[in-house]
């Protein structure tokens, strides 16, 4: 790697820290990635259409949920952030690649829309918009991925990708093989919670109250602030550059 390339990457990383350092973490992250103080609820095992085979993924932009079919008539439902109105799409696709700690490079269109975006964020960085895992869809630049902005889950803020909580995408990632069929639709599904044993999945206790959301947000921002302060001091894993759409 040339000295010029190293300096360019270092400048990109420094730009991330500068962007966050000029104001509160919440204010900057919201302005970069969208979203507000509302959260998208929790995962839940639900009843689901018998026509879908175990292993398939159904993404409902209407429900703002990703359904992973685990058995005939049963799916794990995860809250997601969905595309904003001008970035809507739908169709049948498949998982073509998987990446742990993917790096992130904004497209020229994203830079034009928001010039404050860094030109590149390395994999493993606490402010990487793709989070800790990414599953690439077809030949497109769309992905199912984690996030560095969990307050956006449940909202229509992405540029076309499907965002999940990091803990949820880490749970889903090893269960999804390359080639998995993915249906992306605006259709809404009539699902109901399914009783299950504690060993099968954590118990779903319902969407958080406003007070619980406030406490979770406060705890996250405290952690986020600590990550920002230490990001420049810790070693970052090497990652392959890719033209990503968040």
Q: Which domains does the chain have, with CATH numbers?
A: 3-230 (2.40.440.10)
How far is C-alpha 245 from the chain's CA centre? Answer: 11
Question: Is the pLDDT confidence value at 11 over 90?
Answer: no
Q: How far apart are CA 175 and CA 94, in angstroms?
A: 14
Contact partners, residue 193, CB within 8 Å, separation at least 6: 44, 45, 46, 204
145 flagged as catalytic = yes
pLDDT confidence bin for 209, thresholds 50/70/90: low
Catalytic residue among 6, 68, 125, 161: 161
pLDDT: which is higher, 196 or 182: 182
Catalytic residue among 6, 68, 125, 145: 145
Q: Give kind and range of the element (H or E) at residue 50.
A: none
Residues 99-153 have pLDDT tens digits of 999 999 998 989 999 999 999 999 999 999 999 999 999 999 999 999 999 999 9
6 flagged as catalytic = no
Q: What is the mean pLDDT of the chain?
A: 77
Contact partners, residue 127, CB within 8 Å, separation at least 6: 16, 20, 29, 121, 148, 227, 228, 231
Residues 49-99 have pLDDT tens digits of 999 999 999 999 999 999 999 999 999 999 999 999 999 999 999 999 999
């Amino acid at each position: 790697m040339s000295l010029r390339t190293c300096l360019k990457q270092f400048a990109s990383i420094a730009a991330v820290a500068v962007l966050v350092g000029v104001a509160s973490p919440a204010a900057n992250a919201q302005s970069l990635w969208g979203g507000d103080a509302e959260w998208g609820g929790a995962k839940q095992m639900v009843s689901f259409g018998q026509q879908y085979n175990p292993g398939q993924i159904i993404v409902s932009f209407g429900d703002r949920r990703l359904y992973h079919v685990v058995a005939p008539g049963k799916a794990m439902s995860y809250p997601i952030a969905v595309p904003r109105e001008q970035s809507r799409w739908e169709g049948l696709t498949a998982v073509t690649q998987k990446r742990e700690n993917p790096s992130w490079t904004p497209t020229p269109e994203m830079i034009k829309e928001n010039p404050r975006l860094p030109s590149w964020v390395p994999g493993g960085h606490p402010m990487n918009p793709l989070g800790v895992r990414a599953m690439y869809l077809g030949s497109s630049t769309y992905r199912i991925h984690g996030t560095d902005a969990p307050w956006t889950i449940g909202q229509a803020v992405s540029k076309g990708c499907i965002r999940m909580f990091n803990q949820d995408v880490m749970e889903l990632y090893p269960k999804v093989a390359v080639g998995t069929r993915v249906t992306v639709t605006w259709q809404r599904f009539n699902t109901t919670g399914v009783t299950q044993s504690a060993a099968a999945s954590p118990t779903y206790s319902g969407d958080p109250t406003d007070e619980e959301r406030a406490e979770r947000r406060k705890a996250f921002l405290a952690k986020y602030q600590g990550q920002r302060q230490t990001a420049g001091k810790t070693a970052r894993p090497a990652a392959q550059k890719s033209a990503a759409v968040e």
